[in-house]
Amino acid sequence: MQNRVKNADFAAKIMDADAAAALVPNGALVGFSGFVGAGAPIHLPLAIAKRAQALHAQGKEYKIGALTGASTDPDLDGDLAKANAVSFRSPFMTDRDMRAAINTGETKYMDVHLSSLAQQVEAGFFGEMDFAIIEIMGIKEDGSLIPSTSIGNNQNWLNYAKKVILEVNCAQPESLEGIHDVACLPKVPFREPINIKRPSDRIGTPYMKVDPSKVVAVVVGESKDRVNSFTPLDEVSIAIGDNVVKFLQKEEAEGRLPKGTLLPLQSGIGNVANAVLAGLERAGYKGLSCYTEVIQDGLLALIKAGVITEVSSASLSLSPEAIEDFRENIEFYKKHIVLRPQEFSNNPEVIRRLGIIGMNGMLEADIYGNVNSTNTMGTQMMNGIGGSGDFARNGYISIFVTPSTAKGGDISAIVPFVAHVDHTEHDTMVIATEYGYADLRGKSPRQRAAEMIKIAHPDYRPMLQAYFDEACKGENGKPAGHTPHILSKALSWHDKYNKTGSMK
Residues noted as catalytic: 293
Confidence band (pLDDT; 50, 70, 90) for 202?
very high
Q: Which of 115-129, 268-282, 436-450 has the lowest mean pLDDT?
A: 268-282
H or E segment and range at residue 121: helix 117-122
Q: Would the pLDDT of 231 be above 80? A: no
pLDDT above 70 coverage of the chain, percent: 99
Average pLDDT over residues 343-352: 98
pLDDT of residue 229: 67
pLDDT of 397-451, one tens digit each? 999 999 999 999 999 999 999 999 999 999 999 999 999 999 999 999 999 999 9
Q: Would the pLDDT of 1 be above 80? A: no
Nearest-angstrom CA–CA distance, 382 and 13: 39
- pLDDT winner (highest mean) among 151-155, 227-231, 281-285: 151-155
Nearest-angstrom CA–CA distance, 49 and 46: 5
pLDDT of residue 230: 67
pLDDT of residue 277: 87
| Of 278 and 98, the one with more pLDDT | 98
Average pLDDT over residues 286-302: 93
Contact 271, 238 (CB under 8 A): no
Asked whether the whole model's pTM tops 0.85, one would answer: yes
pLDDT of 61-76, one tens digit each? 999 999 999 999 999 9
Mean pLDDT across the chain: 96
Q: What is the 3-state secondary structure (H, E, C) of 335-361?
A: CCEEECCHHHHCCHHHHHHHCCEEEEE
Nearest-angstrom CA–CA distance, 274 and 268: 9
Average pLDDT over residues 463-477: 95
